[in-house]
Amino acid sequence: MTSIPSALLRCPVCRGATIGFSPGEARCGTCGHQSPSLGRVACLLAEPAVWRGRWSTDLGAFASMMRAAAERTRSDLARFDLLPPTRARLEGFLAANERNAAQVRALFADAGIEPCTDREAIRRRSADARGRLPLTHHYELLLRDWAWGARCPENAEALGRVLGMAAEAGWGRTLVLGAGAGRLTYDVHQATDASVTLALDLDPLLSLVAHHVLFGDGRTLIEFPFAPDSDAWVEHELRRPDALRPGMHWLVADALDPPVSAGGWDTVLTAWFIDVCDADVREVIGTVHRLLAPGGRWINTGPLLYPPSRPPAQRYPPAEVLALTEVGGFDVETSSLQEVRYLRSPLSGHARLESVLSFVARKTAWKAGPSAEPPAWVIARHCPIPRFPSAPTGHPLLDRVGALLDGQRSVADVAQALAGALPPDVDARDAAAALVLELHRRGEDA
C-alpha cells in the first residue's frame, strides 16, 4: 500500500517500531493497534473510530451546505428580474456546484468514507468549527498548489525563500509538518538532495487530492473565485508538473505528536504551520527538536497569524519566536521578514498580504537561557532540567517529582510521568513546571 521506509515510522499508540501496511490498513506489530484507513493514503492515527466519524461528519456537513447553496441558487433562478447574463451565471453555478460536490463525494467514496446523515452530529460539528466548513477550509491551497500555475507566483516564491536559506546539499531525511496540499513539499523534494521526504497532514481532503496528484493521474476540481473578475466558476485539472523523483511519501498523521522516529530526521520543514496548528509555539519547537538528529536543521517559513482563541502570552511576534527557538536548543542561522501576497487567485480580485517569518535553525547542544529567571527549562519544556541540590520534603507529590529529576528529564517528561496523578482540568506541564520550580527554590534556599 505504501512504501514509506518502516524504520521511520512509529505506532501512534505504543510507539512500537513495527508498523505493517496492507491494503486498507496500518497495523502495529507490537500492540496490534489498527489505524483508520483512508483509501490508498497511509494513515497512522490513534482513535480510528473518532477519525472516521469526523471525516464522515465533515463530508455530511459539506454535502448539506452544497445542497443549501443549490437551493438558494434555484430560488434566485425563479426570480422575474434577472439580467440574461445573471441567469446564465446562476445556471452555470448550479451545475458546477453539483458537479463539484459529486466529485468530492466520489473522492471520499473511493476511500471508503460515506457522508454522515445525522443532522444533530453535523450541527454539533459545524458549531465546533464556528461556521467554517472543516472539509473545505483549505480548499484554495489545492488550487494554488496544483492549478493556478505560472499565473500565480506564490509556489515559486515559497520555494525560492526556502532554497535561498538552505540551498546547499544535506537535506537527507526530510519531514514536512502540516504539508497542506503538498506543492512546497514536492518542489523541495524535486529541487534538493532529500533522500526521503515525508509529508504529514491531518486534512483528509488535502491528503486525498494530494495523493492523487503526486502518485496518480491528478484530479479535477472546480474553483469558485471569492471575488471573480469574470467567471463565477472554472474547472481545473490538478496535476504535478513533472514525474516525481523517488523517495517522496505522504502520511495522514498528527504533526504535533508525529508517529515517526525521534532523532531520525536531518531536516524538518514547517510552512504556514507554527501559528495555526493547535499548540503553543513552544510545544512545536519541542516537537521539532525531538524529531531532528543532532545538528539537524529546522526550516520555517510563514506568518504569525494566531487564531483568536490563542492566549495573549502565546501570541509571540517574530523576535519572541526566534528567542524561544534559541532557548529551545537551536542556533538560529538566518532569519528574515518579508511581505508576501497569499492565495491571490488569477481569477479573483482578492488576496491577503502577509508578513512572513522565515528562518533556518540548527539543533545544538543545550545552552543556558538568556536569563537565570525563569530558567530555560521552564520556558522550553523539552529542555533537560539540570541537577540541583534537593532534599526530601515530606510532601508525596514533590518527593515523587524530586525522584524523577536525573539531569536528563524535562518538564514535559515530568508531566508525562505524573499523568493520572493530577486533576483532569490541570495543565500537566504547567503543574510539572511549578512543582520543579518549587523544588529548585527550596534547593537554593537550603
Binding residues for ligand SAM, per CB under 6 A?
138, 141, 178-180, 184, 200-203, 206, 254-256, 271-273, 276-277
Question: What's the rounded Cα separation, in Å, for the pair 241 and 218?
Answer: 10
| Pick 259 or 375: Cβ nearer ligand SAM | 259
Over the Cα atoms of the chain, what is R_g? 24
Q: CB 381 → ligand SAM: shortest distance, Å?
A: 18
| Pick 121 or 343: Cβ nearer ligand SAM | 343
Question: What's the rounded Cα separation, in Å, for the pair 430 and 399?
Answer: 17
H or E element in which residue 85 lies: helix 84-110
| Pick 231 or 254: Cβ nearer ligand SAM | 254
| Pick 159 or 347: Cβ nearer ligand SAM | 159
| Pick 97 or 270: Cβ nearer ligand SAM | 270
Among 65, 50, 59, smallest CA distance to 114 is for 59
Q: CB 181 → ligand SAM: shortest distance, Å?
A: 6
Residues 73-82: contacts with CB under 8 Å, at least 24 apart: 73/97
Question: What's the rounded Cα separation, in Å, for the pair 344 and 342?
Answer: 6
Q: Crossing angle, helix 84-110 and helix 204-215, to 10 degrees?
A: 80
H or E element in which residue 222 lies: strand 219-223
Q: CB 141 → ligand SAM: shortest distance, Å?
A: 5
Among 308, 99, 344, smallest CA distance to 229 is for 344
Q: CB 329 → ligand SAM: shortest distance, Å?
A: 21
Q: CB 260 → ligand SAM: shortest distance, Å?
A: 12
Asked if 303 and 354 count as a contact pair (C-beta separation under 8 A), the reply is yes
| Pick 180 or 329: Cβ nearer ligand SAM | 180
Measured from the Cβ of residue 308, the count of other Cβ atoms closer than 10 Å reads 6
| Pick 346 or 384: Cβ nearer ligand SAM | 346
Reported in sequence order, the residue ranges of 303-446 that DSSP labels E, i.e. its strands, are 330-342, 352-363
Q: CB 269 → ligand SAM: shortest distance, Å?
A: 8
Residue number with the smallest Cβ distance to ligand SAM = 180
Asked if 169 and 195 count as a contact pair (C-beta separation under 8 A), the reply is no
Structure letter (DSSP) for residue 347: T
Asked if 201 and 256 count as a contact pair (C-beta separation under 8 A), the reply is no
| Pick 335 or 393: Cβ nearer ligand SAM | 335
Q: CB 199 → ligand SAM: shortest distance, Å?
A: 9
Q: CB 352 → ligand SAM: shortest distance, Å?
A: 11
